[in-house]
Amino acid sequence: MSERRIPISTPSGTFEVWTQTLGSNPSARVLLLHGGPAATHEYFESLAPALVDGGLEVIYYDQLGSHASDQPDETSLWTLERFVDEVEQVRIALGLDRDDFIILGHSWGGLLGIEYALTYGANLKALIVSNMMASIPAYDRFAREVIMPTMDPVALARIKEIEAAEDYANPEYEALLMEHHYVHHVLRRPADQWPEPVTRSFAHLNPAIYVPMQGPSELGSTPEASLYTWDRFDDLARIDVPTLVIGAEHDTMDPQHMRAMAERLPRGTHLHCPDGSHMAMWDDPDVYVSGVLEFVRSL
């Protein structure tokens, strides 16, 4: 196990990001791209050891602005294009290339992985897109048309009322979301049984990045968010590396869309987690881990 801080050149100067390598496999080195934007590697603390036990090399990485890395107060840095460039700089620093470099991106990390593959696909051995649709507009439609109608209407009305008032810091907002949304679609366990690495990672999330990129609502994106119109579904046909798309039955992301992504990809494979939600590595771990290991071994 080795830690390393990597200098990242940006338009606002040079900053450092934190990485840690577990295990060793010169032909299968998996860089984990965490969600958020601006969550942390910490919620991978069950997945990474399982992958290492399966023979893979795994690299934790906190993206710039996230907990273990530098957190510059530079709003101009929080763009999708700059994060893609950051991943490329991390790749170069770690000596990863098309013979060994595998990205596993979860949620926002999956979006980032898609963008990286579209820009720097020649440097990739394989891509794993976990629990992330290829279209934010489609994700928003799924939230409106499928997720919200299943929620308690009184609770949903109160959630929408708080959002309309932009009172996102109201403790009632988080409590309502936990009871009526998170435990059903984010991580399917009672709130008091959520794993400590997950709650720690979410506690470390940097809202100065998350809000302008994703938006403040937890039931879809919002028009002021920079990712609001992001849609790469049609462009998946240009990703010519083996790609595993992981979906889950109870996810915030449409399982049917995830299947369609795998079909759209020239070398796509689909893994469905029947008991999983957005954090399927926690609530359907056997299917998730065995599916990832099988995919990597097939390369």
Which residues are identified as catalytic?
107, 251, 278
Evaluate the omega torsion of the peptide bond into residue 37 and state whether it is cis, within 30 degrees of 0: yes
**Diameter of the chain measured on Cα atoms:** 54
Q: Which pair of tokens denotes residue 127?
A: 């891509």
Sequence-separated (6 or more) residues with CB below 8 Å from residue 114: 105, 127, 129, 132, 134, 232, 236, 239
- 260-275 burial, b if ≥16 CB within 10 A, otherwise e? bbbebbeebbbbbbee
Single-letter code of the amino acid located at 137: P
d(CA 53, CA 74): 39
Give how far the C-alpha of residue 199 lies from the chain's centroid of Cα atoms, to the nearest Å: 16
